[in-house]
Amino acid sequence: MDNSKVMTKLAYQALEEKKGEDIQVIEIKEISILADYFIIANGTNASQVDALVDNVKETLSKHGYEPQRIEGVRSASWILMDYGDIVVHVFSKEDRLFYNLERIWRDGKTIP
76: pLDDT strictly greater than 80: no
Going through the chain in order, the beta strands assigned E by DSSP cover 21-27, 37-43, 69-71, 78-82, 86-92, 109-111
Domain CATH for 58 = 3.30.460.10
Nearest to 36 by CA among 73, 78, 6: 6
Q: Distance (Å, rounded) from C-alpha 48 to C-alpha 21?
A: 10
pLDDT, tens digit (0-9, with 9 covering 90-100), for 34-59: 999 999 999 999 999 999 999 999 99
End-to-end CA distance of the chain: 17
pTM of the model: 0.94
Contact 39, 11 (CB under 8 A): yes
Domain count of the chain? Answer: 1
Q: Distance (Å, rounded) from C-alpha 11 to C-alpha 103?
A: 21
15: pLDDT strictly greater than 80: yes
Domain containing residue 104: 3-111
Query: 75 versus 103: which is more confidently predicted?
Result: 103
